[in-house]
Each structure stands twice: as C-alpha cells, then as structure tokens.
C-alpha cells in the first residue's frame, strides 16, 4: 500500500464483491460514506467503491471545522442542518468522531474585515443562526492568550469541530454494520446502461448490477464524468496544512482571521493553516474552463497562489477516455498526495505568533496538502444528472465537504428514495451550471417524470432490493 502523508484510521474493505445492489456509490470520502450510511439506514442496499483507502484524500486532510458561520447564503440551510446531524453522529453510529460543540470565532484586525463580518451577521440572523459579535469582555474570556489589536469577533456558539481521520472511517464501519458493502482498492471503471438507464458498474474486480449510481469522487469526478460524455465544470485547489504541538493556554474552539487559522485537536495539539490562501497548479482544465471560472478568479485572486509546474504536463498526458476492460487513471493514482509546503507552514506560524504569542514555541509534527474540488460558484452539485436516468452527482464541495457532509449525504439519499428533503435541492441541481443536463433537457416536468420516453426516473423504494 502506498504510504501517504496523513494518517487515517485503518479500515479493511470487504473481500467479496456483491453481485447486485440498489445503489453503487463511487468514492469513499465523507460524501460517499454519509450517503451510504443514510441509504443503509433506510433499508436500501448499497455498495461503496473506493479506489484507495477510506478518507484517504481531502476527507482526512481538511481542518476539521464543522461551521455554519461565513457560508454562502444559498448553502447556509444545508450547513445548519449538517451541524445538527454532526451533533447526533456519535450517538447515531455508536462511535466517537471527535465532534464537539466548541463554537467558532472569526477575528477582525482590519476595518474591512470587521465590516464584512458585521454584514454576514445579518445573514445569519435572517436564518436564525446564533452568530453574534462578542463584547470586549467576552473576547478576553473566549480568546485567552491573544496579543490584542482585535477590532471585533464574530462568534457562533453552535458550531464545532471533529477529527477527520477518525470520523469518516467510523461512519464507514457504522454503514457496514447497517448492511452497506464497503470496498477499498476497488476503482470503478465505467457505468453501464440498459434501455437508457443505469444498469451496472464495471469495477477493476468485476461487475455490480445496480439501478442507481452516485458519483462522489471529489477531485476525480470531472475525469470520471468526462469518460461518460458528461462535462462537469470542476477544478482542483490545494490547501496546505500542518500539525503542531507545544502550544498551551488557548481556546478549544477553532479560530480564524484574515491570514491564519487554528483548531485545537482532541489530543491537545493543533491543526494550523494560512487562511484565505491556497495553491492552484495550472492544468489544461484551467484553460478549458477559463470562461466559467474567470468571474470567480477576479474576486478571489488574492486567495490563490497560481503555479505552472509539472502538474500541467501530468494532467495533459492523463488519459481522458478508456473502455471498461482497460485500466483506468484511478488505478494508477490510488491516493492524491501532493507535496507539503513548508513555506505555508512558516507563514501560518508567523501570522499566528503575531496574534497569539503562544505559537512562538510550536513544534511542527507533520505537514500535508489536501486537494479540493471547486465549482465556478463554490457551491456543490448534489443532483441527478437528469439526462442519464439513475446517475447522480455529489461533488464540487469547494473545501466545505467535511462540514456539510452529513447533510449532503442525507440530501442525496432523499433524492434517490424520493423522501422529502430537509433543504431545497434546487440550489444544488446541476442545471445551474449545466442546463443541458437539467430537467427541461431530459423532458422531465418539475412535478413528475415523463413516462412516455419509455424510461422511469422514479426513485428507489426503501423496500426495493435487487437480487443477483
């Protein structure tokens, strides 16, 4: 097995490939695993196919924040629902995910930042969120060890944090206990159809019959969908992170400011990063999708460190089309493990020490990079691909996937089973980015599927189980 830079709780995948299930989920990150957990709890037979290890990529490499504060207003209802689900997760699965309700604070050191957070507080208020500006006395109490100079703090007490490398494998074990098949080192090569709708997947270990497929492949989703002839607009962004210890006297809650972020881990050490700064190695897709992403780049260019390096040529040489009987690119790279960046770690600690002198003696234990899947509007797609009956997409979480994972998995399960969703799914429909894959293009009314084409988009019943 390839050694990766972030340790993840070991998870042994099933040794036997099921012959048939209702739903195959492609991808064993938090989105795929929470989808499988939800479906299994509803009595729907499901198999997760992960090309590497469970949570081997961004699902174990993120900061571990489960926040509602600061989210895009379109995404906020799902974020709020997800935090509720996080608060129930340890009891629900009978395991510790590391989740604790600690609150989260955003610090303002400039008038510009303060104005921005005051404006966002009004958004939170509209949605009934407990986000509010702290008094000076509360700042002193909740942020011990700060060096002063803070103009304001926006705080949300209902937010929290979890341990990514513990949480997702724990959820996977729970899903398996409830009947899900969890397959690791098992890449899906192709989705097969019959009479116009999904009928099976072909994996490197054989075929699994199914009536629905969920692509929750993170950064790999665009490549996989492209082999199916589906143009999903998504780019990759790398977030450098570090793990440090030797820091004492700070709050348990995650804290962020304009140029730093830290989170106390369950063992007392810290995850640290430079906030609002990510690496963006240029790839051929940056040019293919330039028109769609350019408006976002104009507003976020300060947050991106563009690089032209070997990644461009590696992706240029990556095969974009393959047959079910051919080895796929996913078998060549089981885990995307980008090089760490000591320069980012030094910058993070420098910025942190300026604000919290306790970080001056921090000792770096580990550094890593996590690759995030980004859409043009930084909102994920959680949706059927309406022109491909039985095929669903859950990707493009733009660095928010861990925090909203439980809600996203539940929403995807709702779409598959036709249960009433907790939030409006239209916000996350693929039609906002690709109208050609929307309901209208598929000839589906907003209320019901048009049956005259000879296929049925109907959902899987809780009692439906395919048999070998």
Distance CA 41, CA 23 (A): 13
Q: How far apart are CA 341 and CA 279, in angstroms?
A: 10
For the chain, the first-to-last Cα distance in angstroms comes to 32
Helical ranges in 42-189 per DSSP H:
58-61, 76-93, 111-126, 136-142, 164-177
**What is the reported pLDDT for 4?**
73
- Integer Rg of the chain from CA: 22
What are the backbone dihedrals phi and psi of residue 140, each rounded to the nearest 5 degrees, phi first? -65, -35
* Residue 12 to residue 335: CA distance in whole angstroms: 16
- With beta carbons less than 8 A apart as the criterion, state whether 162 and 67 touch: no
Task: Give the span between the Cα atoms of 320 and 330, in whole angstroms.
Answer: 11
Joined together, the tokens standing for residue 353 give 């020490």
Could you give the CA distance from residue 47 to residue 59 in angstroms, rounded to a whole number?
Answer: 19
For tokens 């885990």, what's the residue?
335
CA distance 36 to 182: 9
Which pLDDT score is estimated for 1? Answer: 45
pLDDT at 460: 66
**Domains within the chain, CATH numbers bracketed:** 23-442 (3.50.50.60)
Q: In what order do the strands lie in the sheet with 188-194?
A: 188-194, 197-203, 206-209
Residues 6+ apart with CB under 8 A from 337: 2, 4, 5, 6, 368, 369
Residue by residue, pLDDT tens for the chain (468 residues) are: 456 788 899 999 999 999 999 999 999 999 999 999 999 999 999 999 999 999 999 999 999 999 999 999 999 999 999 999 999 999 999 999 999 999 999 999 999 999 999 999 999 999 999 999 999 999 999 999 999 999 999 999 999 999 999 999 999 999 999 999 999 999 999 999 999 999 999 999 999 999 999 999 999 999 999 999 999 999 999 999 999 999 999 999 999 999 999 999 999 999 999 998 899 999 999 999 999 999 988 888 778 888 899 999 999 999 999 999 999 999 999 999 999 999 999 999 999 999 999 999 999 999 999 999 999 999 999 999 999 999 999 999 999 999 999 999 999 999 999 999 999 999 999 999 999 999 998 887 654 443 333 333 345 654 443 323
pLDDT at residue 461, as a whole number: 53
d(CA 351, CA 362): 13
Select from 338, 163, 346, 353 the least CA-distant residue to 239: 338
Phi, then psi, of 420 in degrees rounded to 5: -70, 120
Residue 357 is given by DSSP the state G
Q: What are phi and psi of 39, to 5 degrees?
A: -65, -45
Nearest to 163 by CA among 383, 8, 324, 353: 8
Q: Please state the length of the chain.
A: 468
Nearest to 459 by CA among 400, 426, 419, 408: 419
Residues 273, 124: Cα–Cα separation, whole Å: 25
Identify the pLDDT of residue 3: 61
Phi, then psi, of 456 in degrees rounded to 5: -125, 125
Read off φ and ψ for residue 332, nearest 5 degrees: -80, -30
With 0-12 / 13-18 / 19 or more C-beta atoms within 10 angstroms meaning exposed / middle / buried, residue 128 is exposed
Closest to 282 measured CA to CA, from 226, 317, 340, 235: 235
Structure tokens, 254: 């995650």
Q: Determine the Cα–Cα distance for residues 411 and 421; give it in Å rounded to an integer.
A: 6
Q: How far apart, in whole angstroms, are the C-alpha atoms of residue 303 and residue 274?
A: 10
Residue-level pLDDT at 187: 98
d(CA 381, CA 431): 9
From CA 46, how far away is CA 48, in angstroms rounded? 7
Q: What does each C-alpha distance from 294 to 300, 311, 332 come to in angstroms?
A: 10, 20, 31
Distance CA 46, CA 210 (A): 9
Q: Which residues pair with 241 in a beta bridge?
A: 368
DSSP 84: H
Q: Is 467 helix (H, G, I), strand (E, B) or coil?
A: coil
Q: Cβ-count burial of 123 within 10 angstroms (0-12 exposed, 13-18 middle, 19+ buried)?
A: middle
pTM: 0.94
């Amino acid at each position: 097995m390839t050694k990766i830079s972030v340790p993840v709780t070991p998870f042994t995948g099933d040794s036997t490939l099921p012959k048939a299930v209702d739903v195959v989920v492609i991808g064993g990150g938090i989105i795929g695993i929470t989808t499988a957990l939800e479906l299994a709890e509803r009595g729907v037979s499901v198999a997760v196919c992960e090309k590497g290890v469970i949570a081997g990529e961004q699902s174990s490499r993120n900061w571990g924040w489960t926040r509602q504060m600061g989210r895009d207003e379109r995404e906020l209802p799902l974020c709020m629902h997800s935090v509720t689900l996080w608060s129930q997760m340890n009891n629900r699965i009978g395991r510790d995910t590391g989740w604790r309700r600690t609150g989260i604070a955003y610090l303002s050191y400039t008038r510009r930042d303060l104005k921005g957070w005051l404006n966002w507080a009004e958004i939170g208020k509209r949605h009934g969120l407990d986000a509010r500006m702290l008094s000076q006395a509360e700042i002193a109490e909740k942020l011990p060890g700060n060096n002063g100079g803070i103009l304001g703090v926006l705080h949300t007490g209902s937010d929290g944090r979890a341990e990514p490398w513990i949480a997702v494998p724990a959820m996977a074990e729970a899903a398996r206990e409830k009947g899900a098949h969890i397959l690791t080192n098992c890449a899906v090569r192709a989705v097969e159809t019959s009479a116009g709708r999904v009928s099976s997947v072909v994996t490197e270990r054989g075929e699994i019959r199914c009536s629905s497929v969920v692509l929750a492949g993170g950064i790999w989703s665009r490549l996989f969908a492209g082999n199916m002839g589906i143009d999903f607009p998504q780019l990759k962004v790398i977030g450098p992170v570090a793990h440090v210890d030797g820091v004492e006297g700070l709050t348990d809650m995650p804290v962020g400011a304009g140029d730093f972020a830290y989170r106390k881990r369950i063992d007392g050490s810290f995850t640290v990063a430079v906030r609002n700064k990510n690496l963006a190695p240029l790839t051929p897709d940056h040019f293919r999708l330039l028109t769609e992403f350019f408006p976002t780049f104009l507003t976020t260019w300060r947050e991106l460190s563009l690089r032209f390096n070997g990644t461009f040529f590696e992706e240029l040489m990556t095969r974009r089309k393959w047959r079910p009987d051919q080895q796929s690119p996913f078998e060549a790279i089981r885990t995307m493990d980008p090089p760490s960046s000591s320069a980012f770690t030094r910058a993070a600690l420098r910025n942190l020490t300026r604000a919290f002198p306790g970080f001056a003696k921090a000792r770096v234990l580990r550094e890593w990079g996590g690759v995030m899947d980004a859409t043009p509007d930084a909102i994920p797609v959680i949706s059927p691909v309406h022109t491909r009956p039985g095929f669903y997409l859950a990707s493009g979480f733009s660095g928010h996937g861990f925090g909203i994972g439980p809600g996203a998995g539940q929403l995807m399960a709702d779409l598959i089973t036709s249960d009433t969703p907790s939030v409006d799914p239209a916000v996350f429909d693929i039609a906002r980015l690709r109208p050609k894959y929307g309901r209208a293009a598929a000839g589906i009314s907003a209320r019901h599927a048009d049956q005259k084409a000879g296929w049925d988009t109907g959902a899987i019943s809780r009692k439906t189980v395919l048999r070998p």
